[in-house]
């Protein structure tokens, strides 16, 4: 798997004037069953990564720590 993250178009000042108009043309094709588990103890990091991945078409599940991520993986594999 090769994750793809859109390049940040916003400058340090938050300027969106140079936002490209063809942002959808370079998206990679993904599996219809792709789901990504994000584990991070920082709420803002989880939320940011979730939005980046949602933008590129992925579904996500969030975990606050490694043990929660393992529990989520175990429960998903048993269903």
Tokens 């991070």 -> residue: 40
| Cα 25 from chain centroid (whole Å) | 18
Q: Is residue 73 very low, low, confident or very high in pLDDT (cuts 50, 70, 90)?
A: very high
Name residues whose C-beta falls within 8 Å of residue 18's C-beta, 6 or more positions apart in sequence: 9, 11
**Would you state the pLDDT for residue 8?**
52
Query: What value does the mean pLDDT take over residues 60-68?
Result: 95
| pLDDT tens readout for residues 1-57 | 555 555 554 444 555 555 555 555 555 555 567 789 999 999 999 999 999 988 888
DSSP 30: -
Backbone phi, psi, residue 77, to 5°: -75, -20
């Amino acid at each position: 798997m090769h994750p793809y993250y859109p390049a940040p178009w916003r400058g340090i000042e938050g300027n969106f004037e140079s936002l490209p108009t063809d942002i959808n043309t370079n998206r990679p094709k993904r599996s219809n069953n792709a789901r990504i588990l994000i584990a991070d103890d920082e709420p803002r990091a989880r939320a940011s990564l979730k939005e980046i991945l949602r933008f590129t078409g992925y579904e996500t599940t969030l975990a606050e720590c490694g043990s929660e991520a393992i529990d989520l993986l175990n429960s998903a594999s048993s269903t």
